[in-house]
A and B are shown apart, each in its own frame.
Chain A
Amino acid sequence: MTVEEPARSRTISVEVNGEVYEREVDARRLLVHFIRDDIDLTGTHIGCDTGNCGACTIHLDGQAVKSCMLLAVQADGAKIGTVEGLAPVDGELSPLQQSFSAHHALQCGYCTPGMLMSASALLEQNPHPSEDEARTAIQGNICRCTGYVNIVEAIVSVGK
C-alpha cells in the first residue's frame, strides 16, 4: 500500500451521468467548478457562496448534496448525477421534469436544476410524498421567483 502524502493536486476519476471522466484537479477546486468549468456541464448552478441556496445540488452516490461544499478531490471514485442526466432519453422529459413545466414550477429556471435534483432524490426514496415531505426535501433550495407553491405542487403530483 502506498503511503498517502499531501499534494496540491490529484488525478481523480468520477462517473458523471454514466460517463467516466479522469482529470487532474487542484485540491482547492470545488466540485461545482469542476462540473461546470472542467467538464462543461453548466446545468448545475451557483447561487450563493455559503452553501445555503442549493442551486448546485447534484447526486453523489445517490444522495442529494451541494456541490459547492465539496472539493472535487473528495468526489474521486464517486458516481455523480446532474440535471443533464435526468431525462431518460435525449429529447424526452422525465415525469418530474414534465410536472415542473405543467405546474409552472419554474420562472427564471436558475434554481430549477437544483430543485429537480433534490426532488428526484426524494422521489426515489419516497415515490408518494406529502406536501410537507416535499417542502422538507427542498428546504435547502432557495427559489426567488415562485414562492415554492407550484414547485411543491409539481413534486407532490408526480407521486399521485
Chain B
Amino acid sequence: MSTTDTDIVTAPVELQKGHIGQSIPRKEDKRLVQGQGIFFDDVRRHGMGYVHFVRSPHAHAKIVSIDVAAALALDGVYGTLTGDEVAIQTDPFFEMSTPPGANIKDYALAVGKVRFMGEPVAAVCARTRELARDAAELVEVEYEPLDVLVDARKAVKNETVLHDDAGSNVVWSGVFDWGDWEAAKAEADRIVTIDELHFHRFSSTPLECSGALVEYERASGQWTLHCNHHMPGVGAIWMAPALRTGIDKLRFVTRDIGGGFGNKICLHPYYVTLCLLARKLNRPVNWTEWRTDQHTANAHGNERWFHDVEVAVKDDGTLLGFNVKALDDCGAFPRYEPLGCIIWAQVAAGCYAWRNVRVDFTQVTTNKAPVSPNRGYSRMQHLWLTERIVDIVGAELELDPVEMRKRNYVKTEQMPYETPNGCVYDSGDYARCLDIALDLIGYDTIQERKLEATGRGKLLGIGIGSTLDSGTNNFGQSQLLNPELQFSGNNEAATVKLDIFGEIVVTLGTVPQGQGHETTASQVVADILGCSPDQVNVRQGHDTFFNSNAGFSGTYASQFAVTGLGAVKGAADLLRAEMIQLAAAVLQAPEEAIELADGFARIKDGPPEAALPFMALGAIVNANNAFLPADFNPTLNHRFVYKPYFGMVDTEKKTGQLTLTYATQIHACVVEIDRETGVVEIVDYAAVDDCGVRIHPQIVEGQVHGATAHAIGAALFEDFVYDEDGQLLTSNFYDYHVPHALDVPALKTGAIESPSPFTPLGSKGMGEGGGGGIHCICSAIQDALRPAGRPIVYDSCNPYHRVWSMLQDPESTRSNVSVAPA
C-alpha cells in the first residue's frame, strides 16, 4: 500500500542549504569545556537549605508511624515534611488511565504505605548537606512489612494488591487487533510460537542526577524551580493541580542539563515536596539526588514480557503477522503511564510489511521503582520483539537473516506507507541502510571470520537490528487508552526577535540536555535571515517566563528537528518578512527587490549604500520610529507555535497517525563469545542512520554514537535486578555497569538522507535510536551460539552468566519455541 487516506499537510523544502547541513562548531561548547555551564546545582541562593529524603528500605510496607522529633532537635535543621502533611496540603497527581489505574492515589511522599525500596517517606531540610543527612537518619519510621511483588507475572494475579484504591494491580489493559490475524494464520505455511520473551529493566542513567533549587515568593504565591526537568509543560500539568494552584505560579528554569534521556520527566513528586518545603520554611531549598537514589527511586525504563507469541509465516519467509500477549511492568506508580501501553503502537509493524498484528496488552504495578520514558520509550521494547521474531523464525526455518529482512522490509517505493494501524511511514530505504551496515562490518567475510574465531576457542556471530525512531508524538494516541483524555496533537513554540543593536535573539520552548539546540536553531535562523550563526543569540535553556513555551514544550520523543526547529523557522520567517517590509519602506524600493544577506537588508544588485545593517532595522523600530507611517507597526519580535497535523485518531479501531516522522536506524555487529566463560566481546559495529535532512550531521552522528553506547550497555550489562524481597541489587555503578571507554568498540557509522515530506525542513526527529544496538547484539549472540546447541536469546540483557547458562543448557531455551504447520 503506498497511498494514504489521511490528509497530510506537507510543506515544501524551500531553504537553500547554507548553514543548514554544515557541522558548525557548537555554540554550547565554549562554556561547557571551561566548566562554565550552569547546571541546577550550580545555582545558589542566600539562606538556602539542603533537602535530604528519608527513604523506605522496604519494598512494600505499611507505615505505622513517623517520628521527626529527634531530627528537628538537631542543631541546624530547618524543618521536615512527612506524608501526612502532603496528604493534607496537596491532591493526588492526575492519573491518565481509565480504572482501575485511574483510582491510584499518587502523592509526593508516601502516604500510609510504601511501595518500593527507596520511596521517599519524609524530607528533612538543614543548613548543610551533611546535616540534612544526619537529621534524616534520626527520623524514626516504623514499618509493617507486607508481601512483596517483584514479578509482573505474579502481580497480574492480584493475590497481593499494591494500591487498595485501585483494587487491582492492573493499570490498564486492552486488545489491539489490526488486519485479520485469523486470516493470516489460515494463509500461513507455518506458525512459529515463542512461549516467553523478556525485555529487561534498565535506564539511561544520565550522569547528572535529578534535583532542583526551589524558591517561593510569598507575595505572589509563585514558585521558581531552577531544575533539570526536561518536559516542564507536562510537569506543570501534574504539579499545579496537586499544589492547588494555577499553572502560571510554576516557573521552570533550566540552563544546562547533564543528560536526560527521558529520565527527568517524572520528577513531579520530588518537586512538589520541594515546593511545600520552600513554602513551609520560607526559604529556598536545594535537593540534589545522589546516584544510589537515582538508581533505586527515580526512573527506570519499562520492563515488558511477551507471552504466547505466534507468528504466521510462509515457507519462503514472508511474514504475514503476529499475535502476542504483552505484559508491561511499570513499577509502583504509573506516573507517565499508561502512555507506554500505546506509544509502542507507533511502530507496531516495525520495519516490516506484515499486515496482521494482534496485541493483547496489559500493564501492572509491582514493588519496584516507577518507570519513566527512557530513550526509545516503549517502541524499543516492541521493536526488540519484532527483531527477535525475525531472528527466531529465520533460525527455525533455516532462512538467512539478511534475506528474511529484505523480503519483509517495507520498500522504499511504498513510501509514504500506511501501516495496519493507520500510522504513516514518511520516507526511508531500509534495505539500502542494511546494505551499507553490512558493508561496514565486512559481511562478505563473515564465514571466514567464524572459522578463524573457532580456532581461538571463540564463537563468532553477526547480528542485525532494524529499528524505527518514531518522532513527534501525536498526543491524541492517549485517547486510544482513555477516550476521556483531552490531549491531542503536539506543539512547540519559539520566539525570534531583532533587537536595538541588531542582535538576533532566539528563545526556545525546548529543554535541551546536550542535543545542541542553540547551535541548530542558530543555523536555521541564519539561513532564513541571511546572516552568520554567530550573529544569532539563542538563549540558553528553558524559562517559563520566556513566553516561548507551549503545552507540550520539552525535549523528548525525537522531535526537536521537527517541532523545535519548525517553531524557530516559523518565527524567523515572520521576522524576515517584516525586516524586508521595513527595509523596503526605508530604502524606498519594492519588497521583491530586497534581500537579506551578510547581515544586511539590501537592494538586490543595488549600490553599496542601498543596504541597511540589521542594527539599523533594530534601531529604527525600537528607538527611532517617528518617521514610520502611522499604519505600519513592525515589532521585529515574533512568536510562532508549530503544530504538526495528524487528524483525529479512531478510538474504536485504535488506529491513527500516532507520530509524524520515522527515522531509520539499521545496526549490524559482530560479537565473539568466549566458549569457556560466556564473556561477550563486540568486535565490529556499524550503525546506519536515515533521519531525513540533517541540520548538523556531526550532532546526528553523536546521537547515533550515544544511542549505540546505551544499547551496548543495556544488551550486555545494565540491568536493574531485584531480589524476591524487592531489594534493588544494582543500585550503583559497581553493580550496574555502564559502558566505560574500553567497553565501546570503534563505531562505524553511515548515513543516507530520505527527506520527510511532512516536516518544515525535511528533517526528522532522531536520537532515541529505537534500541537498535540491543536488537543487533541479541541477534549476534544468538548467531554466535548457534554451533553450541542453537539456544534462543530470550532476554534483552545477556550478561556473561546468562550467556554461559545458554551454553550449558541450550535446550531449556529451545523448549520455548516451536514450529507447527499452519
* A–B direct contact (CB < 8 Å): yes
Report the Cα distance A117→B20, complex, angstroms. 33
- B30 & A93 in contact (Cβ 8 Å cutoff): yes
- A26 & B204 in contact (Cβ 8 Å cutoff): no
- A108 & B291 in contact (Cβ 8 Å cutoff): no
Q: Does A149 contact B (CB under 8 A)?
A: yes
Query: A-facing mask of B739-767, CB < 8 A → 1, else 0?
Result: 11110101100000000000000000000
Residues of B within 8 A of A110 (CB): 37, 39, 206-208, 256, 258-259
Q: Does B130 contact A (CB under 8 A)?
A: yes
Q: Does B33 contact A (CB under 8 A)?
A: yes
Query: B-facing mask of A42-84, CB < 8 A → 1, else 0?
Result: 1111111110110100000000000000000000000000111
Query: B-facing mask of A96-120, CB < 8 A → 1, else 0?
Result: 0100111010111111110010000
Q: Does B698 contact A (CB under 8 A)?
A: yes
Shortest Cβ distance from B682 into chain A, in angstroms? 12
- B706 & A139 in contact (Cβ 8 Å cutoff): no
Q: Does A16 contact B (CB under 8 A)?
A: no
Q: Does B608 contact A (CB under 8 A)?
A: no
- A50 & B207 in contact (Cβ 8 Å cutoff): no
Q: Does B409 contact A (CB under 8 A)?
A: no
Q: Does A130 contact B (CB under 8 A)?
A: no
Contact of A147 among B41, B258, B291, B706 (CB under 8 A): B706
Q: Does A31 contact B (CB under 8 A)?
A: no
Query: B-facing mask of A12-50, CB < 8 A → 1, else 0?
Result: 000000000000001011000100110011111111111
Q: Does B569 contact A (CB under 8 A)?
A: no
Total of A-B residue pairs, C-beta within 8 Å: 180
Shortest Cβ distance from B749 into chain A, in angstroms? 9
Report the Cα distance A104→B703, complex, angstroms. 11
Report the Cα distance A146→B708, complex, angstroms. 9
- A50 & B734 in contact (Cβ 8 Å cutoff): yes
- B28 & A149 in contact (Cβ 8 Å cutoff): no
**CB nearest neighbor in B for A112:** B32
Residues of A within 8 A of B208 (CB): 45, 47, 108, 110
Residues of B within 8 A of A151 (CB): 741
**CB nearest neighbor in B for A138:** B741
Residues of A within 8 A of B513 (CB): 108
- B207 & A47 in contact (Cβ 8 Å cutoff): yes
Q: Does A11 contact B (CB under 8 A)?
A: no
Within 8 A of B (CB), among A133-160: 134-136, 138-152
Report the Cα distance A16→B167, complex, angstroms. 59
Shortest Cβ distance from A151 into chain B, in angstroms? 7
**CB nearest neighbor in A for B260:** A108
- A52 & B733 in contact (Cβ 8 Å cutoff): yes
- B514 & A107 in contact (Cβ 8 Å cutoff): yes
Residues of B within 8 A of A111 (CB): 207, 258
- B291 & A106 in contact (Cβ 8 Å cutoff): no
Report the Cα distance A42→B758, complex, angstroms. 43
Report the Cα distance A40→B44, complex, angstroms. 10
Residues of B within 8 A of A145 (CB): 207, 259, 514, 702, 706
Q: Does B34 contact A (CB under 8 A)?
A: yes
Shortest Cβ distance from B710 into chain A, in angstroms? 7
Shortest Cβ distance from A37 into chain B, in angstroms? 8
Report the Cα distance A22→B277, complex, angstroms. 34
- B744 & A97 in contact (Cβ 8 Å cutoff): no
Report the Cα distance A151→B746, complex, angstroms. 12
Residues of B within 8 A of A41 (CB): 35
**Chain B CB within 10 Å, residue with most, of A26, A108, A141, A143:** A108
Shortest Cβ distance from B530 into chain A, in angstroms? 26
- A42 & B35 in contact (Cβ 8 Å cutoff): yes
- A108 & B26 in contact (Cβ 8 Å cutoff): no
- B207 & A55 in contact (Cβ 8 Å cutoff): yes
Query: A-facing mask of B236-264, CB < 8 A → 1, else 0?
Result: 00000000000000000000111111000
- B514 & A49 in contact (Cβ 8 Å cutoff): no
Q: Beyond A110-B39, A143-B741, list 20 extra A-B contacts (CB 8 Å).
A: A28-B130, A43-B35, A45-B208, A52-B733, A53-B291, A53-B733, A84-B34, A93-B30, A101-B33, A104-B698, A107-B515, A109-B28, A109-B29, A109-B256, A110-B37, A111-B258, A141-B741, A144-B738, A145-B706, A147-B712
List, sorted by A's number, 26 A–B pairs whose CB atoms are closer than 8 Å: A42-B35, A42-B38, A47-B208, A47-B258, A48-B733, A49-B290, A50-B292, A50-B733, A50-B734, A52-B732, A84-B36, A86-B33, A102-B25, A104-B699, A104-B701, A107-B516, A108-B257, A109-B514, A110-B206, A112-B32, A142-B207, A143-B741, A144-B206, A147-B744, A148-B741, A149-B747
A-B residue pairs, 4 tightest by C-beta: A43-B35, A110-B258, A109-B32, A108-B514
Q: Using CB atoms and an 8 Å cutoff, list the residues of chain B in contact with chain A.
A: 23, 25-26, 28-39, 41-42, 44, 129-130, 204-209, 256-261, 288, 290-292, 513-516, 698-699, 701-702, 705-706, 708-710, 712, 732-734, 738-742, 744, 746-747
